């Protein structure tokens, strides 16, 4: 019996997707629930599972095509064997040749490839690699795309891996490459332009002495990790400090809807994560009700899934306020762009030792510049500055967060 494989229901607000890779060709055997194709949306990569076991009979859509929910992607013959997938004449020869080529291309990929994320699996298969031979840095020993790229770059005679570049065009002895944006990168570009064209964005700065946070972490980090199974990072302190400041200045946790201001009485904090595919912002929901350990665990898990390409669309949807940390890349100061429809974003930066005047004496202190970009349509400069001051006070005296002062 022939069974049509269709595009699965797409997440809310997503209208279409791009078919980025087929993992099966006509004539090949297919197992039930086996991933046969990868679809890339504006935010995540989705897998297309086989609804039944059989043989791939026909591909209806080529790689790179745009598809919509419910569209037919392929047809499988349920219960058939691969040797009988294509019957008769030239058609059988063509299907057999395609199947043989596909088997050759993936002959050296072991079963472990089935556990990889779509983007990692595609890179492994295209380069005929053994995943077990590549050092893994992901959560629970999982292989990430960065691991594969680094492995390829370090091989003798290896060239830098780049996403499907077009043939170089020579101009006056020089060359250039034209590469199509991924859907995620294109969507990021759209959202950033929309934010700047629809909001009155302004950035205010302050600086914070993180001596107290560093001392607190140094004093308790070993016991914290032993009891909770996660490292005590800086981000949980900033999330908690931001929540205390948002409580004092609720308009910064608000958003604009037409002529209305929506004051959110909950704290769903987005934490920006850099991935090979672009910036993603998973949401720590009801962060005010969560402990430092819970926040650290969630951020770590979200970051791992985002980089592996397995994060769910629900993890990226919503949010009332965002924190981004350019300091991990060495940024000393920046003006982050608001993650619309939110009205503000906090930017963290590199911790750098600087001479400061403390109690009339010059002392070397670990300092960090903070930035808050905000929608000036509803947030005044006074509120933005006082918001930063409130964060600064919480971080320079963490006991305030415990006492709620």
Cα–Cα dist 157/161, whole Å: 12
Where along the chain do the CATH 3.30.559.10 domains lie?
A: 184-403
- Given this model, what pLDDT does residue 282 score? 93
Q: Which fold has domain 108-163?
A: Dihydrolipoamide Transferase (4.10.320)
Task: Return the CATH number of the domain spanning residue range 1-105.
Answer: 2.40.50.100
CATH of 184-403, one of 3.50.50.60, 3.30.559.10, 3.60.15.10, 1.10.468.10: 3.30.559.10
**Would you say 62 and 69 are in contact if contact means Cβ atoms under 8 Å apart?**
no
- Given this model, what pLDDT does residue 41 score? 79
Query: What percent of the chain clears pLDDT 70, i.e. is strictly above it?
Result: 82
Question: What are the backbone dihedrals phi and psi of residue 354, each rounded to the nearest 5 degrees, phi first?
Answer: -140, 155
Q: Output the DSSP codes for 370-384.
A: EEEEEETTT--HHHH
Say yes or no to pLDDT of 89 above 50. no
Query: What percent of the chain clears pLDDT 90, i.e. is strictly above it?
Result: 43
Where along the chain do the CATH 4.10.320.10 domains lie?
A: 108-163
- How many other CB atoms are there within 10 angstroms of residue 247's CB atom? 13
More confident residue, 351 or 41: 351
- Given this model, what pLDDT does residue 219 score? 94
- Given this model, what pLDDT does residue 169 score? 58
Cite the beta strand spans of 331-376 per DSSP E: 344-348, 352-358, 361-375
- Given this model, what pLDDT does residue 162 score? 44
pTM for this prediction: 0.67
Q: Quick: pLDDT tens for 247-302.
A: 999 999 999 999 999 999 999 999 999 887 778 899 999 999 999 999 999 999 99
List the single range of 159-168, 249-258, 328-337, 386-395 with lowest mean pLDDT: 159-168
Where along the chain do the CATH 2.40.50.100 domains lie?
A: 1-105
pLDDT category at 157 given cuts 50, 70, 90 is low
Q: Quick: pLDDT tens for 43-61.
A: 677 888 888 888 988 898 8
Cα–Cα dist 311/298, whole Å: 12
Q: What residues act catalytically?
A: 376, 380
3-state secondary structure of 137: coil
Say yes or no to pLDDT of 106 above 70. no
């Amino acid at each position: 019996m022939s069974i049509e494989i269709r595009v699965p229901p797409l997440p809310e607000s997503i209208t279409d997707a791009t078919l980025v890779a087929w993992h099966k060709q006509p004539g090949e055997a297919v197992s039930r629930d086996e991933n046969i194709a990868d679809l890339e949306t504006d935010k995540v990569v989705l897998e297309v599972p086989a609804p039944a076991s059989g043989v791939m009979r026909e591909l209806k859509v080529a790689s790179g095509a745009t598809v919509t929910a419910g569209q037919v992607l392929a047809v499988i013959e349920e219960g058939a064997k691969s040797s009988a997938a294509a019957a008769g004449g030239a058609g059988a020869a063509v299907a057999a040749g395609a199947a043989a080529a596909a088997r050759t291309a993936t002959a050296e990929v072991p079963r472990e490839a089935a556990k990889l994320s779509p983007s990692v699996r595609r890179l492994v298969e295209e380069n005929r690699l053994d995943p077990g031979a590549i050092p893994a840095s992901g959560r629970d020993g999982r292989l990430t795309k960065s691991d594969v790229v680094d492995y390829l770059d370090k091989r003798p005679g290896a060239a830098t891996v780049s996403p499907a570049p077009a043939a170089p065009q020579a101009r006056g002895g020089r060359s250039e490459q034209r590469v199509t944006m991924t859907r995620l990168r294109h969507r990021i570009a759209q959202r950033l332009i929309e934010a700047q064209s629809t909001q009155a964005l302004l950035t205010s700065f302050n600086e914070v002495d993180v001596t107290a946070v560093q001392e607190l972490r140094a004093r308790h980090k070993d016991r914290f990790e032993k009891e909770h199974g996660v490292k005590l990072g800086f981000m949980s302190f900033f999330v908690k400090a931001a929540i205390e400041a948002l409580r004092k200045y609720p308009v910064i946790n608000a958003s604009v809807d037409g002529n209305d201001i929506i004051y959110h009485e909950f704290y769903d904090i987005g934490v920006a994560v850099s991935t090979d595919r672009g910036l993603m912002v998973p949401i720590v929901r009801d962060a005010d009700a969560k402990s430092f350990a819970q926040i650290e665990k969630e951020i770590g898990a979200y970051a791992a899934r985002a980089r592996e390409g397995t994060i769910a669309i629900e993890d990226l949807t919503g949010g009332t306020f965002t924190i981004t940390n350019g300091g991990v890349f060495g940024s000393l100061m920046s003006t982050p762009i608001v993650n619309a429809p939110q009205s503000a974003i906090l930017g963290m930066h590199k911790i750098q030792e600087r001479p400061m005047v403390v109690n009339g004496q010059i002392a070397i202190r670990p300092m960090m510049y903070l930035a808050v970009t905000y929608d000036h349509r509803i947030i005044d400069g006074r509120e933005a500055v006082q918001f930063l001051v409130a964060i600064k006070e919480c971080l320079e005296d963490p006991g305030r967060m415990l006492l709620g002062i």
